[in-house]
Structure 1
Amino acid sequence: MTAEHRPDLSQADSQRSQPSFPESGRLAGVDYGTVRIGIAVCDPDRILASPVEVYQVRGEAKDADYFRDLARQERLAGFVVGLPIHCDGGESQKSKECREFARWLNDQTGLPVRLFDERFSTAAAKERLSGGRLSRQKRKKQLDAVAALVLLESFLEACRYHGVLVGQSIDQQPLGGDTLE
């Protein structure tokens, strides 16, 4: 799914009403990419998370069908989308694409979406996969799903540790550092 598939949302559009983020229920962690999207899901009590798959982007209509089906089949209460942030807190073009994808995902599924800092999630995923007996090709194929798992586990742990909902609303403006906005 590319940025041209989704309209850029104006400030007026961002004032739309979105459902509040649920305190319980299954969540899907999403490691967004323009070619592949890693997906992980947690249990309803938000204790355990597992990688689900790496979805190959197929175009807006098929992608929308996929995510609606995923939400229904997994009985999801919401999504957590990884937000790539630079070490200085700034954002990039990729951050903007992830924000647009998160809004699109909310529009397509009707489920609440939270953005969460994904710094170092791919590095952590590579480290987890390096210990196994997988071929380099199989490791590469699973990397995005394991990155989504790391993202979701980090989100759940941060919520437990802080005792509050962490991350950012899909309507929140970028924070800190040099941004594109």
Structure 2
Amino acid sequence: MPRIMGLDVGDKTIGVAASDPLGWTAQGIETIQRIGIKKDLQRLEEIIKGYEIEMIVVGLPKNMNGSLGPQSEKVLEFVERLKKRFNLEVALWDERLSTVAAERDLIKADVSRKKRKEVIDKMAAVYILQGYLDGRSK
């Protein structure tokens, strides 16, 4: 069964999640420390092959009023690079509250600030992908 990858793309890191083989749940895989676009894409390619990914969902950071800001432009440029490099469908998902929700859950789980910083992007990727999976099944 093909899997779907979820990405939370930031300037310094990329949070990565993947669906289970049935496409019901999202699991966090890792947080990639960004060194350069070539290295970023190389690591994503390893994950895509390893997990047999057939589609990518990328969180699009919109402003609260729904408009696109400078970070959105960076994400859209990154999406173009993804499409060129991998012959996969890439979908955008409104990620406005994913990092907020991830942070809230980590605080609820009493995760230390240092540990939260390490896993927040991966968790945000899980929220992005889970939102997409849930939206698709309705």
TM-score (norm 2): 0.94
* Higher Cα Rg, which structure: 1
**Cα-to-partner distance string for 1:50-82 (whole Å, 9 max, x where unaligned):** 111110011122122111111101110111000
Partner of 2:30: 53
**1:136 and 2:124 aligned:** no
Q: What root-mean-square deviation, in Å, do the aligned CA atoms of Structure 1 and Structure 2 show? A: 1.2
5+ residue gaps, structure 2, are: none
**1:27 and 2:1 aligned:** no
TM-score (norm 1): 0.73
The one-letter code of the counterpart of 1:39 is V
Partner of 1:119: 96
- Between Structure 1 and Structure 2, the one with more strand by share is 2
**Cα-to-partner distance string for 1:14-66 (whole Å, 9 max, x where unaligned):** xxxxxxxxxx7211110001110101110121112111111001112212211
5+ residue gaps, structure 1, are: 1-23, 162-181
**1:151 and 2:95 aligned:** no
Contact 2:8 2:16 in 1 (8 A): yes
**Cα-to-partner distance string for 1:103-142 (whole Å, 9 max, x where unaligned):** 1112122221111100111110011111224221011110
Contact 1:122 1:147 in 2 (8 A): yes
| Number of corresponding residues | 138
Partner of 2:51: 74
Identity of aligned residues (%): 33
Contact 1:71 1:109 in 2 (8 A): no
User: Which structure has the higher relative contact order (CA within 8 Å, separation 6+)?
Assistant: 2
The one-letter code of the counterpart of 1:26 is R
- Between Structure 1 and Structure 2, the one with more helix by share is 2
